[in-house]
A and B are shown apart, each in its own frame.
Chain A
């Protein structure tokens, strides 16, 4: 029930968090904005369903990486906006470094014949 179903766009365990952090790195966004931004920066590879997005957002808020506040959307709808907190920025930095290390190591591992 709690496990996301595997599919073409299934996110690696733990990737969703870093994608959300990255999506919010420039500016605060609301839920839909975040999923659109993730689609955009991943070149459409990742589509985040609300069933995964909202639990992740709330978990990260409770962890102190995001802060949430109500605001106005671009077409004047009341929406909840999420911003990175300083702790969130640190987390993004840590995870980015980690991902870079892993992906380069993976790339190297897969290239050597």
Chain B
């Protein structure tokens, strides 16, 4: 029971401190008295006995201290008393305390917010079983510069059957379907997945069953479906009786067999439909994404070697489609955040790190300033016997206390800002909804607070006087502070300015890049355009009815009074998919190397005018042009296509492309076609992407378009109900989906970049304010101690302008090297995020110049008040005060 005894003692020492101390006093007194008795007995007189006893006992106070130094809980007690002293100190100086806490809280709030987002996106494991065994697979054709492409169906099943590395391999293809019979017809996301899809992820349905191979026996089309969790809740109110219900998707009926568990990312389609393997599968068209679960103990490298062998044999067996094929394996981490998102998150994390550091330097600076003002107090403590460790601890305690308070407030700020971001549904962050102040984040916050406290306390602690105590006491009220401390404070300001410079350059680059991005010549016009999609049911693809529907809809839209132009296309610009093909000029058919990759789109004749794409040469598609695909039994007439200027320049450099022959789907179906026109380039794959190399193929039966564009005289937003009733009038089964203005689509497409730029902008604005406070603090502090000197100068005839000049020079002196250092650091660091930049180089002279000017002006502004104060010094008053 030794520990129990110790606990009792500890309790006694802490709780009954006064009694313990009185007890010890009495014990020592008794000891002394008995010594005295001894001496008296030995024959000494009373005075001698008392003196000898006193001498032999030694200082009672010293004994007491030595005893209390060994007592249990002594550290606890000193820490507590120092904490109390620190608190008292902070309370005595409320404005400084408040300022420091506020600065730290801002830095912490930003850091914690960004870290929680970062943690959710990159550190939180995906909600799948053993996610580190999940991988993603691509086909490659390195000889043709294709370093990652989707899988063809046949290749997927071959790899599925032949590999020795995967526990399970699954393919999926994103798709949509029209759901009818449950309320209004609506477009739902309905991905096709191989039957092992959920097994690969390690996810089990919360209701019903997973797909089984019998669902798709012998390649027959499936008639079962699984529901996504959110869709089930929203559409069926989470009704468990949904199992067994029949859903009509397009022209087919599916029985619901199960419901997926809740999942924020990735597994968020509304409906999943299984497919199996069968005879005569397509090997030429790359449509399927493939994921796999590595077997236990199989490394990524081993699996790659396995896949290489499979690729070699597939190359041998199917040279027409698989010539030069290979496979690429990637970790599943990329599912949630692609490389650029990761990079952006790192940049944001770095930015808040810098901000935190700046706040830290500022607080250090404040404490240092106060430390010099408090030298007397510290010197007295030292004289009273506090040793250096104790003094250092005392100074550190203060900064730790400040940072703890700042962290508390910062947590509040982070909580609110996360809430706000989640409520506003900020676009451009993956897994934002998963971000929270979880134990991970709280741990990080504690760590940040600790580091901040130590870092901010470091400079003042180093400056605890160690030798010349008497010097400080003699210094008395003058409080000039050592030269060393002033130099240190100037160095802190330099560091602060340098860090701010880096942050400002980062923000400047992102903002510049963002404006470049939105001001890039889109190629298309987005004002006063409305887009919507109508998903064509499969029956529409069988005969002429699809084309008839499109023509009727376009005709009705055209007839609206404010319509300027209408058109339709197979894939929505900016946010739609991007199907591609190999294309070559007719003359070089034999030469595989001369084929290029180009995107293809099916369009109606009116599409080009509707999005304002200019015709550069030749003519546009017209009503007489027929689809490039036609039934085999019909004679093949000439196929006509329109291509983009960039593609024309690539295929026919220095020649007129109009009238030239091209081969579409080179190496696959090899369709010959004639180029009839060249249109302007446009960023239909997204603003950040290169202007597209695109082939525009005329629509027709079997070549349908599902995206419609209407260009109106004024704002088209009022058209929504008219469009809906128009489509419903033509075919009540078809839902109108994704009805949005083109401007909105473009706006949304750059939301990650906008978010990054604005967040960094906010952070660097905060940094600027902090730097300003720092410069101001140092300057005004040193000015306040030079009052007498300046008064003397004025008395001796110094002009106001010379006073102003010296003040400003003194204020700017630490800032200028900071700007230089910052420029070097920024130049070095900004190389790292070149990939996030659009249209500018990391070393963008405009950004650097602007930041330099901005920081210099900020520094000057910070000098203003102290300088004005210095100029107004009345020599008589200043000298009398001395």
Query: Is A51 within 8 A of B30, CB to CB?
Result: no
Task: Indicate whether B850 reaches chain A with its CB closer than 8 angstroms.
Answer: no
Stretch at the interface among B68-76, B439-447, B751-759: B68-76
Cβ–Cβ < 8 Å partners of A58 in chain B: 24, 67, 70-71
Task: State A55–B557 Cα separation when bound (angstroms).
Answer: 98
**Is the pair A54, B63 in contact by a Cβ cutoff of 8 Å?**
yes
A54 in contact with B69 given A32-B35, A49-B58, A64-B6 (CB within 8 Å): no
Q: Which of A1, A62, A77 has the most CB of B within 10 A?
A: A62
Question: Are B28 and A2 interface neighbours, CB within 8 A?
Answer: no
A31 contact from B27, B58, B62, B71, Cβ within 8 A: B27
Report the separation of the CA atoms of residues A70 and B369 in the bound assembly, to the nearest whole angstrom: 53
Given the interface pairs A30-B34, A62-B71, A64-B2, the reply to whether A54 lies near B28 with Cβ below 8 Å is: yes
B67: chain A residues within 8 A (beta carbon): 54-55, 58
Q: Is B215 an interface residue (CB 8 A)?
A: no
Known: A62-B9, A79-B34. A2 touches B27 (CB 8 A): no
- Within the complex, which residue of A49, A55, A64, A75 is in contact with B70, where a contact is CB–CB below 8 Å? A55
**A44 interface hit (Cβ, 8 Å):** no
**B301 interface residue, CB < 8 Å from A?**
no
Report how far A37 CA is from B69 CA in the complex, Å. Answer: 26
Residues of B within 8 A of A (CB-CB), count: 29
Q: Are A62 and B34 in contact (CB under 8 A)?
A: no
- Chain A residues within 8 Å of chain B by Cβ, number: 23
Minimum CB distance partner of B5 in chain A: A64
Q: Does A89 count as interface, using CB distance less than 8 angstroms?
A: no
Whether B882 is near chain A, meaning CB under 8 Å from some CB there, is: no
Q: What distance in Å separates the Cβ of B227 from its nearest Cβ neighbour in chain A?
A: 68
B66: chain A residues within 8 A (beta carbon): 2, 51, 54-55
Q: Contacts of A80 on B, CB cut-off 8 Å?
A: 23, 26-27, 30
Given contacts A62-B72, A73-B34, A87-B2, contact A51 B9 (CB under 8 A): no
Q: Quick one: CB contact mask for A58-89 with B, threshold 8 Å, 1 for yes?
A: 11011110000000010101111000000100
How far in angstroms is the closest Cβ of chain A from B64? 8
Question: With A58-B70, A58-B71, A62-B71 in contact, do A50 and B2 touch (Cβ < 8 Å)?
Answer: no
CA distance A99 to B26 in the complex (A): 35
| Chain A positions 12 through 55: 1 when the CB is less than 8 Å from some CB of chain B, otherwise 0 | 00000000000000000011100000000000000001110011
Q: How far is the CB of A74 from chain B (nearest CB, A)?
A: 9
A-B contact pairs, 24 of them (CB 8 A): A1-B387, A2-B66, A30-B34, A31-B30, A32-B34, A32-B35, A32-B38, A50-B31, A50-B56, A50-B57, A51-B62, A54-B28, A54-B66, A54-B67, A55-B63, A55-B69, A55-B70, A58-B67, A62-B72, A63-B2, A75-B34, A75-B37, A77-B30, A79-B31
Other than the known A51-B63, A55-B69, what 19 A-B pairs have Cβ atoms closer than 8 Å? A31-B27, A32-B35, A32-B38, A51-B62, A54-B24, A54-B27, A54-B67, A55-B67, A58-B24, A58-B71, A59-B70, A63-B2, A73-B34, A75-B37, A77-B30, A77-B34, A79-B34, A80-B23, A80-B30
Sorted nearest first, the 6 A-B pairs with minimum C-beta distance are A64-B5, A62-B9, A80-B27, A32-B34, A79-B30, A55-B66
